[in-house]
Amino acid sequence: MDILKERILREASILTSDVLKLDGVLNHQVDPELTMLMGQEFARRFSGENITKVITVESSGIPIAFATALTLNVPLLFARRKKTLIAEPDALSERVPSFTKGIVTDIMVSRQYLGDGDRVLFIDDIIANGDAARGLLKIIERSGASLVGLGIAVEKAFQAGGRTIREQGIRVESLVRIASLEGGAISFL
């Protein structure tokens, strides 16, 4: 998606050779017009799949997932990062390591909102090693819902997440694929 590539080149900065700071575009500030274009692109790529729900993980996935859900005219469900010790008997949860925060968090989805009647499209902002995505994929599988595929705004293709999930036979569509951040330059695939 050329417009997203242009915005990344203009507004992102390279923190280390494997971390891109995308606060102006994805992780802190949100451009509603660009976000709607991303959502429409995902809806176009996954059209005809009879999607009943879009799912993401809070928080940075929510705007793009919302734009996708709005275009598809289906609900958006976001996995919550558990911050409470109150037991939730009706929840599916997984423990996932956080790539940028260096901590583990528990993500959870209530069984009330995801079940075997659903065909879900999973949308996320960035994929690196794929730990966050794999956590939500496990939750989707345990819920009995069918997974249509995974839509990622920015895939860091030099890390294994996207590739290993494709190798599981899951359709992964990325709007932008980054080949490398080496030498202080962003190169796209």
Asked if 38 touches ligand 5GP (CB under 6 A), the answer is no
Taking the least distance from each CB to ligand 5GP, the nearer of 90 and 104 is: 104
Q: Which position has the token pair 């009647």?
A: 117
Q: Which position has the token pair 């900065």?
A: 13
Q: Which stretch binds ligand 5GP (CB under 6 A): 82-90, 121-129, 141-149, 165-173?
A: 121-129
* 180 phi/psi in degrees, rounded to 5: -165, 150
Taking the least distance from each CB to ligand 5GP, the nearer of 115 and 166 is: 166
**How many chain residues touch ligand 5GP (CB under 6 A)?**
20
Binders of ligand 5GP in range 83-102 (CB under 6 A): 99-100
| Of the candidate residues 11, 31, 106, 131, the single one contacting ligand 5GP (CB under 6 A) | 131
Asked if 22 touches ligand 5GP (CB under 6 A), the answer is yes
Contact residues for ligand 5GP (CB under 6 A)? 19-22, 27, 60, 99-100, 124-133, 156, 161
